[in-house]
Chains A and B, each alone.
Chain A
Amino acid sequence: MINYAKIENGIVTNVIVCSDSQVSTQDGYHVKITVETNEASIGYEYDATKNKFKAPKPYESWTLNDETLLWEAPIAKPAGAISWDENNQSWFVSE
């Protein structure tokens, strides 16, 4: 299943299922979502130069990796940890 993101003024306005051969039937400018582009969702930004999508900033303390356009926590995510605690600036593992 191939997903395409519809881009308007640099913002993702819809994400659709579409084959490569049929995307030309769709109104507007669409970008194919691949592993290289990062995931895309409605409201994400699209950098045409890098051909990558950028999610909204998840936490105030996180910073953007300018190369990958992925947000990174101040502390690297350890294995098994699943959630970030912004108040304590740390990862925590569920009970």
Chain B
Amino acid sequence: MGIQSFTPSGGGGTPGFDYIASVNMTTYNRTWAQAGAAGKYVLDSYNKNSGFAYFVGSGVTTGIPLGYVADVTHAWTSINIVAPQNDYISLFKAAVKTTTVFNNALDSFASFPSTISSSGNFVLPNNALPLINVMIIGGGGGGSPHCGGGAGGGIVKLTAYQAVGTTAVTVGAANRTETTGSGGGTSYFGNVYALGGANGSTNHTTPTGNFANGGGVGLVGSVTTSAIAGGVGTTQTSSTGLGIKGSPTYNGGFGGGAMSAGFSLQHGGTGGGGAGGNGGARANASTTTANGGAGHISDFTGTNLYYGAGGRGSHHQTPASDSSQYSHGVNDGGFGQGRGGTSGGTPSPESQSGAVLVRYYIP
């Protein structure tokens, strides 16, 4: 019996797979004298057994497990099959049709944003889809007295995240203290978290700790002899944020502003890092405050708001007025803004606590 030849069909007409032929595995290892052109093929076990096969061409062979689509890039003249004895193995040619991107189906449903600003539970409505979008915002860092601005909280966003009926939510608090090293609280949605922002620093120290954003450097009562770097931010990743499900994106990790060397101090600190940019640096004794880092802008709630902006550094006689030059300070409705540096015993506006925003969909 000579080699049987098969010519695959064209692209149209037959949905799914074109059936070609079958063989009986009278032994566990069979060579099938079947030829074909390059294309996508499937070998399937009638008894749904596991097995393996090789499409053998001239000087080239492609191997695949049974039941999988193989992209055979060469012509072939036989198939070697390893499968349980007495099984039947069928060969199909995949008819690959043209497709287009399926736009976000959630867009066609009514959606509802839920802002959670206090810890507790998020309960998904019974009639809502089990896929939600989530934005987790860490608490803002505190500002140092007379100096560096606090960093904004970090942000973790989850898209089409698989929701359960009830999810524990923790809202990280704003930092109210004025100590170096500690910062805003960590916010959680289930086990996915967003780190808080670092506190602004004082006395030539840079912020330490594991925070999503660095705080600005603060300086008090001495003279710089060398430049001082701002606090270094920690950019969250899937390993630091447990954001491995859904489609996490991370916003934050920007450092605080740096201080140049060589000018008399007591003139204030630099800006805290924001979720969207570094804090402003300072290179002179200007009374103009150093800007905090930009926040992350999002229309998650239906309105563009800034989240996690860094606090301004203060001048020694002028406390920082808000979070940054972008006018998205503590009163624009966002969350997680860092506190500006304080000055002369006059406090700046407080930093903001974090939040968890959830948008769910009802068909």
| Contacts from A to B (Cβ < 8 Å) | 1, 3-4, 14-19, 22-23, 25-27, 39-44, 55-56, 58, 80, 82-83, 85, 92, 94-95
Check if A42 sits within 8 Å of B185, measured CB to CB: yes
B221 touches A17 (CB 8 A): no
8 contacts between A and B (CB under 8 A): A14-B172, A15-B175, A17-B172, A17-B185, A25-B168, A42-B185, A82-B344, A94-B316
Complex: chain A residue closest to B315, CB-CB:
A94
Complex interface: chain A residues within 8 A of B221 (CB): 83, 85, 92
Residues on B with C-beta less than 8 A from A42 are 182-183, 185, 196, 209
Known: A14-B185, A95-B266. A56 touches B179 (CB 8 A): yes
Q: Tell me whether A41 and B179 are in contact in the complex, defined as CB-CB below 8 angstroms, given that A17-B117, A22-B119, A26-B170 are known contacts.
A: yes
Which of B142, B172, B173 has the most chain A CB atoms closer than 10 A to its own CB? B173
* B120:A94 contact, CB within 8 angstroms: no
Interchain CB contact (< 8 A) of B181 among A15, A56, A80: A56
> Does A82 contact B145, Cβ atoms closer than 8 Å?
yes
Is the pair B176, A39 in contact by a Cβ cutoff of 8 Å? yes
Max count, chain B CB within 10 A of own CB: residue among A17, A18, A43, A55? A17
B97-144 at interface with A (beta carbon < 8 Å): 117-121, 139, 142
Neighbour of A58 across the interface among B179, B182, B183, B266, CB < 8 A: B179
Please report the C-alpha to C-alpha distance between residue A39 and residue B177 in the assembled complex, in whole angstroms: 7
Q: How far is B209's CA from A56's CA once the two chains are assembled, in angstroms?
A: 14
- B345 to A, closest residue via Cβ: A82
Whether B353 sits at the interface, judged by CB under 8 Å, is yes
Residue numbers in A under 8 Å from B185 (CB-CB): 14-17, 42
Q: Measured between alpha carbons, how far is A80 from B209 in the docked complex, in Å?
A: 31
Contact: B173 with A94, CB < 8 Å? no
Among B117, B171, B177, chain A packs the most CB atoms within 10 A around the CB of: B177
> For the side of the interface on B, what is the size category?
35 or more
Interface of chain B, main secondary structure? loop
Q: What are the 4 A-B residue pairs with the smallest beta carbon separation, nearest first?
A: A41-B182, A18-B119, A22-B120, A15-B185
Contact B176 A94 (CB under 8 A): no
CA of A39 to CA of B178, assembled, Å: 10
Contacts of B354 in A (CB 8 A): 17
Q: How far is the CB of B50 from chain A (nearest CB, A)?
A: 43
Is B157's CB within 8 Å of the partner chain A?
Answer: no
Measured CB to CB, the closest approach of chain A to B360, in angstroms, equals 19
A94:B146 contact, CB within 8 angstroms? yes
Residues on B lying within 8 angstroms of A by beta carbon are 117-121, 139, 142, 145-146, 168, 170-173, 175-177, 179, 181-186, 196, 199, 202, 209, 220-221, 266, 316-317, 343-345, 353-354
Docked-complex contact B139 and A43, CB < 8 angstroms: no
Query: CA A93 – CA B225 in complex, angstroms?
Result: 22
Residues of chain A within 8 A of B117, CB atoms compared: 17
Which of B179, B181, B199, B343 lies at the interface centre, i.e. has the most chain A CB atoms within 10 A of its CB?
Answer: B179
Expressed in whole angstroms, the Cα–Cα distance for A87 and B176 within the complex equals 27
CB within 8 Å for A26 and B177 given contacts A16-B185, A82-B146, A94-B266: no
Chain B residue, CB-CB nearest to A88: B221
Min distance, Cβ B178 to any Cβ of chain A, angstroms: 9
Do the beta carbons of A16 and B266 come within 8 Å of each other? no
In the assembled complex, the CB of B102 is this many whole angstroms from the nearest CB of chain A, namely 38
A27 nearest CB neighbor, chain B only: B168
Distance, CA A95 to CA B172, complexed state (A): 37
Within 8 Å CB of A82, what residues of B? 145-146, 344-345
Complex Cα gap A65–B183 (Å):
24
Give the chain A neighbours of B145 by CB distance below 8 A: 82-83
In the bound complex, residues from chain A placing their C-beta under 8 Å from that of B139 are: 15
Q: Please, which residues of chain A bring their CB within 8 A of the CB of B196?
A: 42
Using A25-B121, A83-B220 as known contacts, say yes or no to A16 and B181 having CB atoms under 8 A apart: no
Q: Is B118's CB under 8 angstroms from A19's CB?
A: yes
Residues of B within 8 A of A26 (CB): 119, 168, 170
A15 in contact with B120 given A41-B182, A83-B220, A94-B316 (CB within 8 Å):
no
